[in-house]
Structure 1
Amino acid sequence: MDHTRSLKFRVAKILDLAEPDDTLGKFLDLFILGLIFLNTIAVALETVKPLFEAYFLEFRRFEQFTVFVFSIEYVLRLWSCTVIPKYRHPLFGRLKFIFTPLAIIDLFAILPFFLSLYIPLFSPQFRIGRTVRLIRFFRVLKLHRYTDSLSILVRVYRLKKEELFLTFFVLTVLLFISSTLIYFAEHSAQPEAFSSIPAAIWWGTITLTTVGYGDVYPVTLLGRILGGSLAVLGIGLFALPAGILASGFSEELAARKAQKRGTDVIICPHCGEDINSPPHYAETESEGLKED
């Protein structure tokens, strides 16, 4: 029994972001990373009809191999997750683990294949089947497990989520106000282009983002003044999220450098843990394996 518990602990450590001296873990990380990138390319190439028809068998075999690997990975994660203290219970701990965001992504990475295999409605011959197969793009989100770069992005978002929410809230309010004003300014002159306030939101979006497709634009004097003002305002407002993220990245990189020097630890105000630390396992193998 102790051997099984030790093996479970080892599997959990290998499947997580590998330590620098863990050769097997590093190899697995690189293998899964390569498989994810190849899958992304394969899903895109399958939409090219001549290529898909000419290499249908190769695409199919590669998909089967990918699902086989990802299925084994998912089962091993589910089997070994009980070494993590918060998932320690053999039944309810695993149920809790299944509904974590990363576990859901792992499930979506293999779900389309099994749906098309056992449920005829989800076969690629049907529209719903082709739509479900696009869920395979969720596999690219698995990169978060195998590269620390995406982990930095997640931590920056958590660090700056209040500021980002406030910025996007202001942008949303401004979008609805501008769409309402342009509706009243342009509806009588362009009843088809500005038929309603929801229809005017398209104009507000492309103007506020300064994209300006040119398919919908104001023709009245008041509408042009409003459009010009909103375009100028949009340049400044959309620079705010970029500045917030840049500040977050700067703080995160500085904290990582300080952590490497052992001079600073940043504690998350929500969970009370070091936000730069890797996923928490038990301090020792014996502590983490008291329960199965």
Structure 2
Amino acid sequence: MNSENSLPLKARIFNIIQIGDKSNRISRAFDIFITVVIFSNIVVTFLQTFSELSFLSGFFHVIEAATLCIFCIEYILRIWTADLLYPSRSRLRSRLCFLISFDGIIDFLTILPFFFLSGFVIFRMLRVARIFHLFRLNSRYDSFNVITTVLYEKRNQIISSVFIVMILMLASSLCMYSVEHDAQPDVFRNAFSGIWWSMSTLLTVGYGDIYPITTLGKVMAICIAYLGVGAVAIPTGIISAGFVEQYQRKSGLSNIKNADIKEIAEILADRRYAGKTIEEIETADQLTIFLILRDNLSVLPQKDTVVKLNDILVIRGENGN
């Protein structure tokens, strides 16, 4: 605790609002507090849509204003400490990087609608962006963070599977339009009607508002429905495999103590590594980073974790296996 108190105020605030150190009581209290604030803001946003609760509109407005003030203060503090988040960049560039980052954009969109509620419709619609503030919980809870890590690592495979679904959707819509247009000109009026039907069929939703009535159309619908089952299974399998890989990686960390001490090493992150992600370092140097020691904190590395200057990296070379 003394070493924590000896840190500059800016560094202490950074450790609380940016890193989320579970060993620090203040940091854990802040995590719980901001989680309650986020959920309170979203619950009030939903309750305001009920006309039966109009008599509580004043109370809802107070809660909304209070939570937005907290979001504003946190937003300002995160901008102020952005140079510690991006140590390899200048103060101005580090703050700009935060402003255009995912967290920075979500924070901004969460705050913006409150000041334009009586303005244009587009600003009132931005109230929905508050829901995306829940993604901020990812940085504080490993169980949520695993989901985003898997989706990021498997993004190329997921995009490829979505591209396959789009091709099947376009092909099936044009085929069904060609077969059913003469029999149902009011239902399959154009190719878009076919796209709506193929979407509901390939994704196994089956709304039933549009369906084929010809024999050839029904045969094609059976084939397309089977293709839809396989198309949905492709991204599901990719994501499932990603979860298995991620949990194996986490379990491997607990087995470090059983590894040969000669295979484990510590390196000090200099300017060669500072500012790079774990994935970039592991790929370039063919090593595995198990742990990051940062300002008396132990940080479990993720693929997109950015290494700071003077971090201590606990590693094992690939040839150590």
Q: Which residue of 2 aligns with 1:65?
A: 66
For residue 137 of structure 1, give the secondary structure of its aligned residue in structure 2.
Answer: helix
Preserved CA contact (<8 Å) 1:17 1:147: no
Counterpart residue identity of residue 145, structure 1 = S
- Structure 1 residue 157 displacement after superposition: 1.2
- Listed as ranges, the gaps of 5+ residues in structure 1 are 285-292
Q: For residues 107 and 242 of structure 1, do their structure 2 counterparts lie closer, same or farther at Cα, with a shift above 3 Å needed?
A: same
1:177 is aligned, of 145, 159, 171, to 171
| Overall identity of the aligned pairs, in % | 31
Q: Is the 8 A contact 1:112 1:136 kept in 2?
A: no
Contact 1:183–1:200 under 8 Å retained in 2:
yes
SS at match of 1:211: coil
TM-score by length of 2: 0.78
Residue 279 of structure 2: aligned partner: 268
Equivalent-residue separation in structure 2 for 1:90 and 1:189 (angstroms): 67
- 1:16-27 aligned at under 5 Å gives the runs 16-27=18-29
Q: Do 1:81 and 1:87's aligned partners in 2 also have CA atoms closer than 8 Å?
A: no
- Number of aligned residue pairs: give it: 275
Structure 2 unaligned residues grouped into runs of 5+: 265-276, 290-300, 312-321
**Do the aligned partners of 1:8 and 1:80 also contact (CA within 8 Å) in 2?**
yes
Distance apart, 1:185 and its partner CA:
0.2
- Letter of the structure 2 residue corresponding to residue 71 of structure 1: C
- Residue of structure 2 in register with 1:7 after alignment: 9
Structure with a larger share of its residues in strand: 2
Are the counterparts in 2 of residues 87 and 97 from structure 1 also a CA contact under 8 Å? no
Contact residue 33 and residue 146 of structure 1 kept, 8 A? no
Q: Is the alpha carbon distance of 1:35 and 1:272 closer, same or farther for their aligned partners in structure 2, counting shifts above 3 Å?
A: farther
Larger relative CO (CA 8 A, sep 6+): 1 or 2?
1
- Correspondence for 1:195: 189
SS across alignment from 1:268: helix
Which 4+ stretches in 1 moved above 4 angstroms? 263-267, 269-275
Structure 1 partner of 2:119: 121
CA contact (8 A) 2:18 2:78 kept: no
Quote the residue 1:283 is aligned against.
310
RMSD of aligned Cα (Å): 2.7
Question: Post-superposition shift, 1:87?
Answer: 6.2
Amino acid at match of 1:154: T
> Comparing both structures, which one devotes a greater share of its residues to helix?
1
CA distance in structure 2 between the partners assigned to 1:270 and 1:46 by the alignment: 48
